[in-house]
Chains A and B, each alone.
Chain A
Amino acid sequence: MSAYLDHAATTPVRPEAVDAMLPFYTVDYGNPSGAHSMARAARRAVDDARDIVAEALGARPADLVFTSGGTEADNMAIFGAVRRHGGVAVCSAIEHHAVLHPVEALHGRVVGVDARGIIDLDALEHALDDTVTIVSVMLANNESGIVQPVREVAAIVRRLAPRALLHTDAVNAFMWVDVAAECADADLITISAHKFGGPKGVGALVVRNGATLEPLLLGGGQEHDRRSGTHNVAGIVGMATAARATVETRAATVAHVSALRDRLAEGLRAAVADTYESGVSGIGDGHDRSHKVAGNCHVCFSQTESEALLFLLEKEGVLASAASSCASGAQDPSHVLAAMGVDRELAQGSLRLTLGYSSTADDVDLALDAVPAAVARLRRFG
């Protein structure tokens, strides 16, 4: 028996997405930039997909740029804005490295978060002025699952940084949150297909409200010169199919998964002493997780090391993760927990269990058996 509890890393591809993709590898494999009938079939598939994804994001089809994934879209937003408009980039300290590293590379400003993992809006105000040309604040954090107040951020940005574009990385949010509504004020929005039941290697960036970006990739001029390179037709079709399924089932999935997640989180807190649940108050009953995405259970255990914990959990069939992995596969200390002021020793015992649309009660049961036993063993061997 095994339990895949790493949906924030990636998700199983929805069967309808696989079915939709296959003809574009085997039958209609034309290049959408071409002129003949097979090319036109591919072109139509890309345009249909564009309509679907745009609607899911509350954007116009012409505002959507298909990319190779979330990292490219984030890089395109940050580098594209600063290379085109100059000025200063600003982001929160808990951004994914695909935003944080570009901002750091451009010597931009990084805004801290509070102990709940929510951006410090006072600090944001101090970081903004009319030299700022892009502000990037994610919708839901990939480690903690905590949702950021993007609407409030937008109001502050418009007031204090009138030249700035507002970008939001909605990669880990789209599965759970109505991005079209929550990010209505954003100029640039990133999504990535494999986080919501689509294939890896495809994503999109919304570019709207007259925003202009310097392209990262020059070449054949696809995507209206905003992103050259032959379209990943099957991937784009898979993303659109998954996006539609996500939006159609979102409310039911959130209800189902958040109940599983709450049982998992409460069960771990009850079974393991000294459990810190990131961004969720440890005092009183009925812990409020309404500010987290439904699939995320992110905890830290004292006197425990993530690497050892993940090893023991894998032996019991529980597949999970801790913080981000570096290129070698080693676990690096979490920059998100550090930004939240979590003690480094405690942060080394982080565990991220993330559920998805395919998660079951059995998955939660297995984790509730395996995690307390593994933590107890590691604490015994301290």
Chain B
Amino acid sequence: MSTRPEVLVAMSGGVDSSVAAAMLLEQGFAVTGVTMKLWGGDSDSGCCSVSDVDDARRVADQLGIDHHVFNFGDDFDAHVVQPYVDAYASGITPNPCIECNRHLKFDRLLRRADALGFNMVATGHHARIVDVGGTRRMARGADPLKDQSYVLYMLRQPELARILLPIGDIDKAGVRTLAARLGLRTATKPDSQDVCFITATGGREKFLGARIPLRAGRIVDTAGNELGQVPAVELVTVGQRKGLDLAGAGQRRFVVDVDVAAATVVVGSRADLDRDRLMLANVVWSDSPVAGRCLVQCSAHGDPRPATVDVVDDDRVLVRWDEPQRRIAPGQSAVFYEGDTVLGGGIVQP
């Protein structure tokens, strides 16, 4: 009987998870590969197409490990796709990758791995798990351009204790070098882009248009003067500047508010977007809540900005910026960092 720890590695068919599997094997783990089938519809690439499953399977064959496919399509629909559609229908800008990590990769898959007797689950994310005074924290990956700690902020101690992120210590070039040295067929495969269930040709508009009615809306300035029309108010996001088609606008105008119920988009100047605070809900802490000063990052590769965090209740946190910051679209996530480590995060409220 092998006493090596059993690891289930999530293999998307991309180079990062291919190398993650190879590294775990070199480190002496008993490795099994799995590809999650999440989305049955159109896809450019992402995690779900049959050709990506083939790539994952062939890499597993090359490495001499077993490979399985788990169909989590129902869970993906329920926890990622439907909430994505519902959010846009109510004027909120969701981050489906975060919900996929929260509900699929680090919940559904983790539970499945437990039931099947695996000790750990590994993924090919560019992030690290570090020990800070006896507790585990998510930390930025070695490659600042590829760092994915932001989309993993929802992981708490129980999850962090069971996860391995083998490629977090090397940069993307290092991953590709290793893949090439091992002769992995995914060595030169392009990185996946954007949301896996949205195609480049159809885009968000076609996807949402097939699922919810898209309604025309008025564009008004902050004083209420009507300036124009948008074809679909559901597709407009706070902070957006392009695509409003406001003829002869002398100054740059930004969307400062979207009221889907009233089918109204409010535009204003850059300064009209400035806010000195941010209310978050659905807040998750990697360990216990840490109020006080930290850095807050509001997009996957956005700049972390200094702020003070006040815990309002079990669910909510108020972020007070040191300097006013551009308004963040409701539905996006704000993540608290101490240096390079994640303390927690939550979802921006309207």
- Point out residues on A near B: beta carbons under 8 Å: 305, 307-308, 311-312, 315, 326-332, 377-378, 381
Q: Does B111 contact A (CB under 8 A)?
A: yes
Complex A-B: 7 CB contacts under 8 Å: A305-B112, A308-B112, A312-B117, A326-B37, A328-B50, A328-B53, A377-B115
8 Å CB contacts to A: which residues of B43-94? 50, 53, 57, 68-71, 73
Closest to A348 in B: B74
Of the candidates A311, A331, A377, which one forms a contact with B71 in the assembled complex, judged by CB atoms under 8 Å apart?
A: A331
Given contacts A327-B50, A378-B115, contact A307 B35 (CB under 8 A): no
Write out the residue numbers on chain B whose beta carbons fall within 8 Å of the beta carbon of A329.
53, 57, 68-69
Number of B residues with CB within 8 Å of any CB on chain A = 16
Task: Give chain A residues whose Cβ lies under 8 Å from the Cβ of B69.
Answer: 328-330
Assess whether B50 is in contact with A332, with CB atoms less than 8 Å apart.
no
Mark B105-124 against chain A: 1 for CB-CB distance below 8 A, else 0: 00000011011110000000
Whole-angstrom distance between the Cβ of B103 and the nearest chain A Cβ = 16
Known contacts: A327-B50, A328-B53, A330-B69. The answer to whether A312 contacts B35 by CB under 8 A is no
B37 near A311 (CB under 8 angstroms)?
A: no
Would you call A381 and B111 a contact (CB within 8 A)?
yes
- B115, A381: Cβ atoms under 8 Å? yes
* CA–CA, A145 and B69, complex, Å: 26
Chain B's closest residue to A311 (CB) is: B116
CB <8 Å contact, A308 and B37: no
Q: How far is the CB of A328 from chain B (nearest CB, A)?
A: 4
Given contacts A307-B71, A308-B116, A311-B116, contact A328 B111 (CB under 8 A): no
How far apart are the CA atoms of A327 and B54 in the complex, in Å?
A: 10
Shortest B89–chain A CB gap in Å is 25
Contact between B111 and A330, CB atoms less than 8 A apart:
no
Q: Using Cβ atoms and an 8 Å threshold, which residues of chain B touch A312?
A: 116-117
On chain A, the residues within 8 Å of B70 by CB distance are 307, 330
In the complex, the chain B residue whose C-beta lies closest to that of A310 is: B68
Chain A residues whose C-beta falls within 8 Å of the C-beta of B68 in the assembled complex: 307, 311, 329
In the bound complex, CA of A329 to CA of B53 (Å)? 8
> With A326-B37, A327-B50 in contact, do A332 and B115 touch (Cβ < 8 Å)?
no
Shortest A370–chain B CB gap in Å is 14
Nearest Cβ in chain A — how far from B152, in angstroms? 24
Q: Considering only CB atoms, which chain A residue lies closest to B40 in the complex?
A: A326
- Inter-chain CA distance A378–B116, complex, in Å, is 8
Cα A226 to Cα B111 with chains together (Å): 53
Residue in B37, B115, B117 whose CB lies within 8 Å of A328: B37
Closest chain A residue to B111, Cβ basis? A381
Give Cα A332 to B69, complex, Å: 11
What would 16 more interface pairs be, CB under 8 Å, given A331-B71, A332-B71? Answer: A305-B112, A307-B70, A315-B117, A326-B37, A326-B71, A327-B50, A328-B35, A328-B37, A328-B53, A328-B69, A329-B53, A329-B57, A329-B68, A329-B69, A330-B53, A330-B69
A330 and B71 within 8 A (CB): yes
How distant is B349 from chain A, measured CB to nearest CB, in Å? 34
Chain B residues with CB under 8 A of A381: 111, 114-115
A378 to B68, CA, bound (A): 18
CB distance from B12 to the nearest CB of A (A): 12
The 8 A CB mask of B9-44 against A (1 = contact, 0 = none) is 000000000000000000000000001010000000
Q: Measured between C-beta atoms, what is the minimum distance from A360 to chain B in Å?
A: 26
Q: How far is the CB of B213 from chain A (nearest CB, A)?
A: 28
Q: How far is the CA of A308 from the CA of B35 in the complex (A)?
A: 14
Measured CA separation A377–B70 after assembly (Å): 18
On chain A, the residues within 8 Å of B112 by CB distance are 305, 307-308
B13, chain A: closest CB distance, angstroms: 10
Highest count of chain A CB atoms <10 Å: which of B35, B70, B73, B114: B70
Docked Cα-Cα span, A165 to B37, in Å, equals: 39
Interchain CA distance A311-B69 in the complex, whole Å: 10
Closest to A304 in B: B115
Which residues of B from 101 to 151 have beta carbons under 8 Å from A?
111-112, 114-117
Once the chains are docked, how many angstroms separate the CA of A330 from the CA of B116?
17
Closest B residue to A378 using CB positions: B115
The residue on B at minimum CB distance from A345 is B74
How many Å from the CB of B45 to the closest CB on chain A? Answer: 14
Chain A neighbourhood of B50, CB < 8 A: 327-328
Docked complex Cα distance between A327 and B70 (Å): 13
Q: How far is the CA of A327 from the CA of B52 in the complex (A)?
A: 12
Report chain B residues within 8 Å CB of A332.
71
Interface centre among A308, A315, A329, A332 (most CB of B within 10 A): A329
Q: How far in angstroms is the closest Cβ of chain B from A216?
A: 24
| A-B interface, 5 closest residue pairs, ranked by CB to CB distance from nearest | A330-B71, A381-B115, A330-B37, A329-B69, A328-B53
Which B-chain residue is minimally distant from A379 (CB atoms)? Answer: B115
B contact residues around A328 at 8 Å (CB): 35, 37, 50, 53, 69
Q: Which residue of B lies closest to A344 (CB)?
A: B74
Which of chain B's residues has its CB closest to A381's CB? Answer: B115
Residues of A within 8 A of B116 (CB): 308, 311-312
Which B residues touch A305, using CB under 8 A?
112
Q: How far is the CA of A329 from the CA of B50 in the complex (A)?
A: 9
- A330 and B112 alpha carbons, distance in the complex (Å): 15
User: Which residues of A are found within 8 Å of B53, using beta-carbon distances?
Assistant: 328-330
Cβ contacts under 8 Å, B114 to chain A? 381
Closest B residue to A312 by beta carbon equals: B116
The winner among A305, A328, A331 for most chain B CB atoms within 10 A is A328
How far apart are the CA atoms of A295 and B20 in the complex, in Å? 43
Q: What's the minimum C-beta distance from A354 to chain B, rounded to whole angstroms? A: 21
**Of listed A312, A378, A381, residue having the most chain B CB within 10 A:** A381
Chain B 260-277: CB-based contact to A (< 8 A → 1; otherwise 0):
000000000000000000
Residues of A contacting B111 in the complex (Cβ-Cβ under 8 angstroms): 381
The residue in chain B whose Cβ has the minimal distance to the Cβ of A331 is B71
Distance between A28 CB and nearest chain B CB, rounded to angstroms: 36
Kindly list chain A residues whose C-beta atoms are within 8 Å of the C-beta of B73. Answer: 330
Chain B contacts for A315, CB-based, 8 A: 117
